[in-house]
């Protein structure tokens, strides 16, 4: 190549190299802004992907008519009418009285009241449909479960948890370690509100037990198995009065999906000093609750 041609090539190189360098810098900046995707959208997603879809609405969108939810045969068994009532009075008795409601798809109830020579009887049935206003945080069923747990706590019943261990594993020693009292595990702390263990060798104080309102542990207030999704029975006996007999009120609360059902059955004998039987009162209330649970499962 001639000297003149070589010089012209150098001049052209000096003219184009700055332009190529500038294009390279611009391309690198564009790649950084697009996060490597090349579509011009910055990537600002949190770990784990996009937002979770909200939970589906609860199973039930409406409620049955409470005054028609109990069949006539069951009503007559729980609220027997006296022979002195006219046909119209009987029809009015078993028709029930609807509770005031501002939203028939959210909360409805019905009450029946009967008076016999033996007792004053009161029955009520309530349906409540629970709706979660933020289904991204909790579904309708989960919200209904929270409402049920509050009712269970108000009844002073323990929430059912995992079954306790039946005993030590085979081959393990059951003798207490030094410094621990019999019946306690090493390093275990006493439950809140529980009395402290007495010194070794001292008398063991027995914790007072609250008597069952029915006088029988198996008939007292308790959690019920197999009733809807979850349920409990609350049995209360009023204090004895000087002239009025004690009244027994059995309240059963159970949840089925996003609906909470409450059955309340109260019996007060007319004769002072007479106590309503626990077994018979609870059986009638529980049979009605089971019939209502089957109605929801249809």
Q: Can you tell me the distance from the alpha carbon of 127 to that of 105, in angstroms, rounded to the nearest whole number?
A: 9
**pLDDT band at 1; cut points 50, 70, 90:** low
Q: How many helices (H) and strands (E) does the chain have?
A: 5, 7
Contacts of 136 (CB under 8 A, 6+ apart): 51, 52, 54, 55
Report whether pLDDT(69) > 60: yes
**pLDDT band at 139; cut points 50, 70, 90:** very high
Are the C-beta atoms of 102 and 254 separated by less than 8 Å? no
End-to-end CA distance of the chain: give it in Å, rounded.
Answer: 99
How many CB atoms within 10 Å of residue 289? 24
Q: Can you tell me the distance from the alpha carbon of 255 to that of 261, in angstroms, rounded to the nearest whole number?
A: 6
pLDDT of residue 115: 93
Weakest-pLDDT range from 13-27, 67-81, 92-106:
13-27
Q: Which helix (H) or strand (E) holds 99?
A: none
Are the C-beta atoms of 182 and 176 separated by less than 8 Å? yes
pLDDT of residue 92: 94
Share of the chain above pLDDT 70, in %: 63
Tokens of 111: 């009450």
pLDDT of residue 207: 33
Apex 178 CA angle, 173 and 184, nearest 5: 65
Weakest-pLDDT range from 17-21, 57-61, 184-188, 267-271:
184-188
**pLDDT band at 245; cut points 50, 70, 90:** confident
Q: Can you tell me the distance from the alpha carbon of 228 to that of 187, in angstroms, rounded to the nearest whole number?
A: 40
Domains of the chain: 66-158+213-297 (3.40.1000)
pLDDT of residue 41: 35
Each residue's pLDDT tens digit, 18-66: 554 444 444 444 444 444 443 333 334 445 455 667 888 889 999 999 9
Report whether pLDDT(294) > 80: yes
Averaged over 86-113, what is the pLDDT?
94
Contacts of 95 (CB under 8 A, 6+ apart): 67
């Amino acid at each position: 190549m001639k000297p003149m041609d070589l010089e012209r090539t150098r001049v052209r190189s000096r003219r184009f190299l700055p332009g190529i360098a500038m294009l390279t810098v611009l391309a690198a900046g564009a790649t950084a802004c697009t996060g490597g995707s090349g579509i011009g959208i910055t990537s600002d997603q949190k770990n784990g992907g996009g937002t979770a879809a909200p939970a589906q609405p609860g199973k039930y969108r409406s409620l049955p008519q409470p005054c028609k939810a109990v069949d006539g045969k069951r009503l007559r068994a729980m609220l027997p009418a006296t022979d002195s009532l006219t046909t119209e009075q009987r029809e009015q008795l078993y028709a029930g009285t609807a509770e005031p409601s501002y939203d028939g798809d959210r909360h409805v109830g019905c009450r029946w009241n009967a008076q016999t020579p033996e007792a004053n009887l009161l029955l009520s049935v309530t349906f409540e449909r629970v709706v979660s206003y933020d289904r991204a945080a909790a579904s309708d069923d989960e919200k209904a479960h929270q409402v049920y747990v509050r009712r269970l706590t108000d009844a002073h019943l323990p929430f059912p948890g995992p079954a306790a261990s039946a005993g030590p594993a085979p081959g393990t020693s059951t003798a207490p370690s030094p410094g621990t009292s019999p019946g306690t595990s090493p390093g275990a702390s006493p439950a809140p509100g529980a009395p402290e263990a007495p010194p070794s060798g001292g008398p063991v104080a027995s914790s007072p037990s609250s008597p069952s309102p029915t006088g029988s542990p198996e008939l007292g207030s308790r959690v019920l198995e197999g009733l809807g999704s979850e349920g409990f029975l609350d049995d209360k006996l009023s204090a004895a009065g000087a002239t009025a007999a004690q009244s027994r009120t059995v309240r059963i609360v159970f949840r089925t999906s996003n609906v909470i059902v409450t059955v309340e059955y109260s019996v007060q004998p007319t004769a002072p000093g007479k106590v309503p039987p626990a077994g018979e009162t609870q059986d009638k209330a529980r049979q009605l609750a089971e019939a209502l649970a089957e109605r929801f499962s249809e």
